[in-house]
Amino acid sequence: MKIVIDAMGGDNAPLEIVHGALDALVVDKDVKIILVGDDDKINPILEQRNYDASRVEIVDAKEEISNEESPTTAIKTKRESSLVKSFEKLKSDEDAGGFVSAGSTGAVLVGAFMKVGRIKGVSRPALAPVLPTLDGNGVVLCDCGANVDCKPINLLHFAVMASSYAQSMLGAERPRVGLLNNGAEAHKGNELSKQAYELLSNSDDINFVGNCEARDMLTGDFDVVVTDGFAGNIALKTAEGTANLLLKLIKRGVYAGGLKPKLGAAMLKPVFKDVKAKLDFNAQGGACFLGVNKVIVKAHGASARGAITASILQARDLAKKNICERIRDGVMRANSMTSAEADEK
């Protein structure tokens, strides 16, 4: 199994990316890596390590795409960029099962869409991170930003794709799917969510359990929460921002409080460390871009080597479990049901 890696994407590229990739070779003897990026920068890092050179391929790419550029323009014009060359390699090399990048989210999504292509039948590919839950199992949030304006059919496809993903990633047998909404009752919602509720309720292909109020998103009552990319982005980033606020308020209280709370905080250090680790949205890998023809994992821009290794192993797992084929089959079934129902009416 080969995994293609954008060696130049992210805040810590190429150093942490290359090290993280080499670490993945140690963890899994069956993995091979293809590092795409400036070989003048990659080779000096490789030279510092012992590794099996037969399992490492380098594709030289001298250009880079930054977060500030327009994704569409960059993908269209920067043909020598690590990202464009990664997608070309991913498409041309049959053994390449997946791709990992910590670079510009917009460019990764646009590039995957344009160069790797949509799975047949999928109306819109979607970005799906796994968020931490109280029970430790995690919940897939789909979409969290790839599609800011959606139609009901998109949300049905998100539900089907994210269910396959939750089966592969979280081991949930019949993933419980919730629709993010402004109330738990069936009649709640805006125009989009009311229509999506109807569609999700009538689908036999997913285990739809009803509306999910945002305050219940992280309780562990849902394996999948579907929503349009705008609301999903708001939910994801509000969760990040609130966790930050709370930890900062505690820290500030400790520093302002004198000796006793400082001592208390020292005694609680392992607990805080553990909680922080549980809340780390990126420890288990990255967000998956579901609905394109290869496995695409978007690692956090700030990823250090550990997160890169985790993302590579995640891409390997998803490719091994044929996530793309499962999504294709699931969406095809859902589409035939939906059009069959439409025919009946």
Shortest distance, position 321 Cβ to its own copies, whole Å? 29
Shortest distance, position 278 Cβ to its own copies, whole Å? 6
Cα–chain center distance at 277: 18
Residue 257 interacts with its own copies (CB under 8 A): yes or no: yes
Shortest distance, position 252 Cβ to its own copies, whole Å? 8
Taking CB under 8 A as the criterion, which residues in 285-324 touch its own copies? none
Residue 233 interacts with its own copies (CB under 8 A): yes or no: yes
Beta-carbon count within 10 A of 238 CB = 12
Q: Give the integer Cα–Cα distance in Å for 158 and 226.
A: 6
Among 182, 202, 336, 339, binds its own copies (CB under 8 A): 182
Span interacting with its own copies, options 19-27, 32-40, 240-248, 321-329, rule CB under 8 A: 240-248
Are the beta carbons of 238 and 141 closer than 8 angstroms? no
Strand partners, 289: 127
Residue 215 interacts with its own copies (CB under 8 A): yes or no: yes
Q: Give the integer Cα–Cα distance in Å for 148 and 2.
A: 33
For residue 143, cis peptide bond before it (omega within 30 degrees of 0): yes
Residue 246 interacts with its own copies (CB under 8 A): yes or no: yes
H or E segment to which residue 177 belongs: strand 176-181
Shortest distance, position 41 Cβ to its own copies, whole Å? 28
Q: Give the integer Cα–Cα distance in Å for 76 and 200.
A: 36
Beta-carbon count within 10 A of 81 CB = 27
Among 28, 60, 216, 329, binds its own copies (CB under 8 A): 216
Judged by the rule CB under 8 A, the positions of this chain that interact with its own copies are: 132-134, 145, 148-149, 180, 182, 189-191, 193, 213-219, 227-231, 233-250, 253-254, 257, 260-261, 263-268, 270-272, 274-275, 278-279
